[in-house]
Structure 1
């Protein structure tokens, strides 16, 4: 025998408290299958109606069927070091939520021996039980398993000698252990489903917020674009037309000596008006895109961009390029527009390279500058996030995703690249 330093009583070895062999020798009461069947039906109904309460209901059922005074369920924690008590009923009910060590406990012994155990006055070996009253006279513990792995125990206690557990109690507890395993597995499924649902709800909220942000930014950009178009119409086309009107009104007087000069000036302004109108129209949607395809529209746009911005553009397109689908060509053109606009506004680069290559069943489109690059945070969250790049990148990504393609951003201190790949199979879909 061993003496505990922390308790003022004698501690016996483990075998001295184990009485499992006595179960077969004791008189066994007759089974009450009707009561057991009714109890199992009630458990099944509880599982369906209130699964979160099933372990407590299971403990109450074991208490009644085994004529016990306390019943509990111990589950092994995720760290494998402690058992905790999620369900407890009877005299010890106030201890629900408590715990005990895996390495030194009755439940740990059951798992170590991989079999049901009957113990008598376990506080003689597990000294910490001496502080819990009333003491345990007998405890019958049965392990239960999920996927062949022990995950917990269900146990019944009598605190006096009013009842002695027998083989019938062992049979009942073994059956309830099987139910406990099913209940445990159901709770784990429900927990996983809840976590998955919470993740999906969070993702939906995040995407809804992103879409709302993108919608607001798009409306602002539409307003800005409309103001820009209105300003261009007023400042250039409006002035030209006003001058033409004034000259034409002056020509009503047939005796004006500078009639030819006024007419020539009006024709010049009219020509400028036509050029401005075509430029605005092409920027909104170049007719070349519909008439001859992306390659011609890209050549026209990059030439115009280079003239307006002073940024050198190297355009590398396939020599013989087949038409893509309408949606694919529009997407590539808008990505080209947005990318070059970002280069002009943000990069500080004096040159840009634009490449389109077809390989196998996909087309790869790259716009690369040699400026200051892009902040890492904006790359990681290239969905709209309120920064100066957000809506452009978000819009590009959505266009590419809609075509089943892939959108990537490469950035360093030496510049930035937008790399887009689009499956050619989808380019024939309109």
Structure 2
């Protein structure tokens, strides 16, 4: 068995899985097992979100445990999160434990039921939480052909309680519940994908409308300053190409082809390139940004630039735009300041573009404030530095 592999001290001291085979066990009750699986199947069919709670309840009844719960592995965070806790440890619902330093981690590594005695002797986080565990039986939640997605664990009130029949029955129930849990997770991912698709559709519709509006504004502004039709064609072609480059900076999170931008200043310059560059002034220190931040900030400032070209300072000859930023210990403060616009006023209702900007800023832990005046719009944005490094 894989449980005979060498474990480091002091984990080896609390690992007593081999004792399961030596303990006296009652004869298998196959009828009870069949009824338990039928019960889980009914719950999975009618109330799939209650499968974990029913599995824990069945485990406590069959094994006579005083506490039980499910630990679901969260790969990105490399941790387990406790769900459906029952019994004396129910108050720890939602707690997290480390993947590489926990009984659940050992259970997943061995991919089989394990037994530990007073694991708080080996794991300081259990001891520091004030939890006493005389004995704990852990069973992996497995799905055929895939990695285990977590563990079912049961705590006994006294040492020497669990036996091999407990481990066998719970392994069978956990395998069945693992399939159910995988189905639930798949449905959740599908629903999230559908929501993302709906958001993307609305966003693309919004951006296409903006592109036509900005292109129309470019034609009109270029026509006023061009000396000839050849001059008009050359200038307008350059601006349309720049507009395409700025628009290409925006990628959805499920895309991998994100344009590399050396700094925040480079990003803003590229976004403003399609517009009258002489109207914009940028000032601020070098500020490196990562790919994810590039995507998010490109969306935000592309929206601000589009609105300025449609309604604000970039839509009139005497308009001007200043973008400045300053870096503090843990944040960057950005000011977008438009002047010289004609009859600017706050919109009567919040449009999709405004909601998109606010949602994006909020998603990365930032804040945004707008000040409207007859001369133009002033926007203040504060972002955590940690978000810009992603």
- The TM tier, using the shorter chain, reads 0.5 to 0.7
1:156 alignment partner, SS class: strand
Q: Check conservation: 1:36, 1:65, Cα contact below 8 A.
A: no
- Pick aligned residue for 2:105 from 104, 108, 132: 108
Match of 2:324 in 1: none
User: Equivalents in 2 of 1:40, 1:127: separation in Å?
Assistant: 36
Match of 1:374 in 2: 239
User: Equivalents in 2 of 1:95, 1:378: separation in Å?
Assistant: 52
User: Equivalents in 1 of 2:224, 2:58: separation in Å?
Assistant: 71
Match of 1:158 in 2: 156
- Pick aligned residue for 1:203 from 193, 200, 204: 200
Match of 1:417 in 2: none
Runs of at least 5 residues in structure 1 that lack an aligned partner in the other structure: 1-11, 218-337, 354-367, 389-430
Match of 1:58 in 2: 55
1:86 alignment partner, SS class: strand
Once the two structures are TM-superposed, the CA of residue 108 in structure 1 deviates from its matched residue by: 1.6
**2:215 equivalent to 1:350:** no
Q: Which whole-Å deviations, capped at 9, do the CAs of 1:32-89 have from their partners, x for residues lacking one?
A: 3333222222222222333333222222222222221111111222236322212311
Q: Check conservation: 1:83, 1:101, Cα contact below 8 A.
A: yes
Q: TM-score, normalised by structure 1?
A: 0.48
User: Equivalents in 2 of 1:110, 1:160: separation in Å?
Assistant: 21
Q: 1:210 to 1:114 in 2, by over 3 A?
A: closer
Match of 1:74 in 2: 71
Runs of 4+ deviating beyond 6 Å:
210-215, 340-344
- Pick aligned residue for 1:92 from 84, 89, 92: 89
1:154 alignment partner, SS class: strand
Once the two structures are TM-superposed, the CA of residue 106 in structure 1 deviates from its matched residue by: 0.9
Once the two structures are TM-superposed, the CA of residue 212 in structure 1 deviates from its matched residue by: 8.4
Q: 1:137 to 1:346 in 2, by over 3 A?
A: farther
User: Equivalents in 1 of 2:186, 2:224: separation in Å?
Assistant: 50
Rg bigger for which structure? Answer: 1
Match of 2:30 in 1: 33
Once the two structures are TM-superposed, the CA of residue 97 in structure 1 deviates from its matched residue by: 0.7
Match of 1:20 in 2: 17
Q: 1:138 to 1:346 in 2, by over 3 A?
A: farther
Once the two structures are TM-superposed, the CA of residue 209 in structure 1 deviates from its matched residue by: 5.1
Q: 1:192 to 1:134 in 2, by over 3 A?
A: closer
User: Equivalents in 2 of 1:212, 1:48: separation in Å?
Assistant: 45
Q: 1:378 to 1:127 in 2, by over 3 A?
A: closer
1:371 alignment partner, SS class: helix
Q: Check conservation: 1:351, 1:369, Cα contact below 8 A.
A: yes
Q: Check conservation: 2:120, 2:131, Cα contact below 8 A.
A: no
Match of 2:313 in 1: none
CA RMSD of aligned residues (A): 3.8
Within-5 A mapping of 1:231-242: none
Q: TM-score, normalised by structure 2?
A: 0.53
1:374 alignment partner, SS class: helix
Q: Which whole-Å deviations, capped at 9, do the CAs of 1:301-323 have from their partners, x for residues lacking one?
A: xxxxxxxxxxxxxxxxxxxxxxx
Within-5 A mapping of 1:173-192: 173-192=170-189
Q: Check conservation: 1:347, 1:369, Cα contact below 8 A.
A: no
Q: Which whole-Å deviations, capped at 9, do the CAs of 1:328-359 have from their partners, x for residues lacking one?
A: xxxxxxxxxx9x97797368273459xxxxxx
Q: 1:108 to 1:210 in 2, by over 3 A?
A: closer
User: Equivalents in 1 of 2:112, 2:190: separation in Å?
Assistant: 32
Q: 1:43 to 1:352 in 2, by over 3 A?
A: farther
The count of corresponding residues between Structure 1 and Structure 2 is 243
1:144 alignment partner, SS class: strand
